[in-house]
Structure 1
Amino acid sequence: MTQPSDIAYFTEAASVETVNDRVSDMADARLKIVMNSLVRHLHAFVKDVELTQDEWGVAVDFLTRTGQICDGNRQEFILLSDVLGVSMLVDAINNRRPSGATENTVLGPFHVDGVPEYEMGANITQQGGRETCRFEGQVTDLDGTPIKGARIDVWSDSEDGFYDVQQPDIQPRHNNRGVFTTGPDGRYWFDGIKPVSYPIPDDGPVGQMLGHLGRHPYRPAHMHFIVSADGHETVTTHTFVAGDDYLTSDAVFGVKKTLIADFEPVTNGETLWRSRYDFVLTRKEGGAGDAD
């Protein structure tokens, strides 16, 4: 009769080996790698802090309430991932780029499809916006060659710190949103408003957690961009308002130093502010691109 191995029965010392040994060799290879590592790190954490049963009960209750508040319009688990820096870490690992290329940051929950495509120079603000701003710059590759036909999808909050989808009865649909396409010189310019900082939803379990940790829920002011072009890697990013109070304490860790943009006051201009930011795209492996 075959005797069971030493790890067939659970012990504190060999907990990781016992759990991971139960994973079948028939399991998907990548799933096995991920789950083995998850168990290893999770058990190490529990042992490191010597988690009490009461603390584990609090954790289970927190996760339960996090799931219960989720619905078609709100994803509290993504918010949890954001405030723990996991969303940004996953994004960074999957969007490594050479020096000089524009860096990614989180997409955020307020992007929508079907946004109007405007002629270059149009105003994307349909309602409100006293602090008007001209956004401008150029899209190039790493060699500085302008990229023709780059698609620039932009969106921002209102002057009150809300996106149009958060206030469907107050803001017009697609307020502060637009899509533009660059010409042969790769330049873009459009008018909007100077964004303002705003809090992430903090009325749920994640907000309560931030409060217990002594953390605020605010994001620094930013304009969203998705810049794409044939033959090039798509950049999903923000430009952040230089000097914002929350640049070094963004609740979701989305700020990278290279994404901070100057917003300069304009005298006797069409807008009160101007912000220039150039986007540098990397070519897809084996792709020729559409640069002219």
Structure 2
Amino acid sequence: MKAENPNSLPIGQSREPIPATPEGLLAAVLASNQHTTDPRLKQILESLLRHLHAFADEVQLSYGELEQGIDFLVQVGKATGPEKHEGILLADILGIATLVGLIDAKKALAAGGTEPALIGPFWRAHQPLRPNGSLIASPKTPGDKLLVNGRVLSLDGAPIANARVETWQASPGGLYENQDPSQEDMNLRARFQTDEDGYFSFRSVRPSGYAVPVDGPCGKLLALQKRDIMRPAHLHFIVLAEGYKTLATQIFDADDPNAYRDVVFGAVGSLLRSFEAQEDGTYVLDLELRLEPGTMRMPLCPLP
């Protein structure tokens, strides 16, 4: 049996003691990351470690507060289930999801692309494929009638045929169907395919605003911050097409006062639109969704 080398040490460790200072500790922690093989992971971890240590030092974090923070994250995990994804909700109410979307779309926005908006915790896998012009609301769904006429275009205005368009919305009662046993399964959800000219359309009901779920740790955090908990009325869209970066966005009702104090900071730029009332009482929403060239990626779906 080969004898162990007494001078060998695990990667990233030194035979020198760690200095008993915040600066010395940070240097040791950063050294432990130097042999991370994935360069992007190494970059992210180094920045994260620097900011975490600087944050703890700046606020003089106590051990009791650290324990509270760790327990909060544990509770976020426990609160995630088939009705909501508490982790995504946390990223939303902290503005991180919106920030990452804007960072990722910086080039597209400069060229006239559609602003992104967070996917949120209520998108479901296997939303039903429906023909263009279909009604996505069950007959029992109350609310004003809504007609959506959409078109998917490239940044230079060329139509994108055969694009996949996912859409979903809350009912006028303020609940998604997976939260509400009185709604039919997959109510107010659908998947469409654009025609040769990039068009898609569907009929629905005008959405309403709603309060984000506050029965979990995120709700406790919002209460401690004394923040509004409302989201403005909106429709969700995810658009996927070969040769283009995936667009996840929302279209907001500009007449909803909560559009200007969205709890998840999602109502940005030109995403506020007017739902135009017609003589027969139907509301019409016309929209263009412009995609940036790139690699199509299917986002992680939070719910089955």
Could you tell me which of 90, 93, 96 is aligned with 1:83?
93
Is 1:152 the counterpart of 2:165 in the alignment?
Answer: yes
Unaligned runs of 5+ in 1: 286-292
Displacement of 1:275 in angstroms is 1.1
Is 1:19 the counterpart of 2:29 in the alignment?
Answer: yes
Q: Identity of aligned pairs, percent?
A: 34
Aligned ranges 1:189-228 → 2 under 5 Å = 189-228=201-240
Q: Which AA in structure 2 matches 1:235?
A: L
Q: Which AA in structure 2 matches 1:146?
A: P
Report the equivalent of 1:124: 136
Is 1:10 the counterpart of 2:23 in the alignment?
Answer: no
Distance 1:120 1:230 in 2: 20
Could you tell me which of 171, 174, 191 is aligned with 2:186?
174
Instruction: Give me the TM-score of the superposition, normalised by structure 2.
Output: 0.83
CA contact (8 A) 1:262 1:276 kept: no
Change over 3 Å in CA distance of 1:35–1:273 after alignment to 2: same
CA contact (8 A) 1:15 1:43 kept: no
Aligned ranges 1:136-147 → 2 under 5 Å = 136-147=149-160
Report the equivalent of 2:48: 38
Structure 2 SS opposite 1:51: coil
Is 1:133 the counterpart of 2:146 in the alignment?
Answer: yes
Distance 1:172 1:265 in 2: 27
Displacement of 1:192 in angstroms is 0.5
C-alpha offsets along residues 6-54 of structure 1, whole Å, 9 cap, x if unaligned? x733313433112222335265433332222212111111121122344
Q: Which AA in structure 1 matches 2:202?
A: F
Q: Which AA in structure 2 matches 1:244?
A: D
Query: Is 243-252 or 87-96 further displaced after alignment?
Result: 87-96
Displacement of 1:4 in angstroms is 5.1
CA contact (8 A) 2:92 2:120 kept: no
Aligned ranges 1:49-60 → 2 under 5 Å = 49-60=59-70
Distance 2:81 2:231 in 1: 23
Q: Which AA in structure 1 matches 2:26?
A: V
Count of residues in Structure 1 that have an aligned counterpart in Structure 2: 280
Q: Which AA in structure 1 matches 2:94?
A: L
Distance 1:30 1:231 in 2: 24
Instruction: Give me the TM-score of the superposition, normalised by structure 1.
Output: 0.86
Q: Which AA in structure 2 matches 1:129?
A: P
CA contact (8 A) 2:150 2:289 kept: yes
Distance 1:181 1:26 in 2: 42
CA contact (8 A) 2:152 2:198 kept: yes
Structure 1 SS opposite 2:41: helix
Unaligned runs of 5+ in 2: 1-6, 8-13, 296-304
C-alpha offsets along residues 140-195 of structure 1, whole Å, 9 cap, x if unaligned? 2222222222222211111101111112x311122112222222332222211111
Q: Which AA in structure 1 matches 2:168?
A: W
Structure 1 SS opposite 2:117: coil
Displacement of 1:66 in angstroms is 2.8
Distance 1:201 1:232 in 2: 33
Change over 3 Å in CA distance of 1:123–1:69 after alignment to 2: closer
Could you tell me which of 155, 175, 185 is aligned with 1:162?
175
Change over 3 Å in CA distance of 1:33–1:230 after alignment to 2: closer
CA root-mean-square deviation? 2.3
Change over 3 Å in CA distance of 1:70–1:233 after alignment to 2: closer
Distance 1:11 1:4 in 2: 17
Could you tell me which of 76, 92, 104 is aligned with 2:116?
104
Report the equivalent of 2:74: 64
Report the equivalent of 2:286: 276
Report the equivalent of 1:288: none
Q: Which AA in structure 2 matches 1:162?
A: L
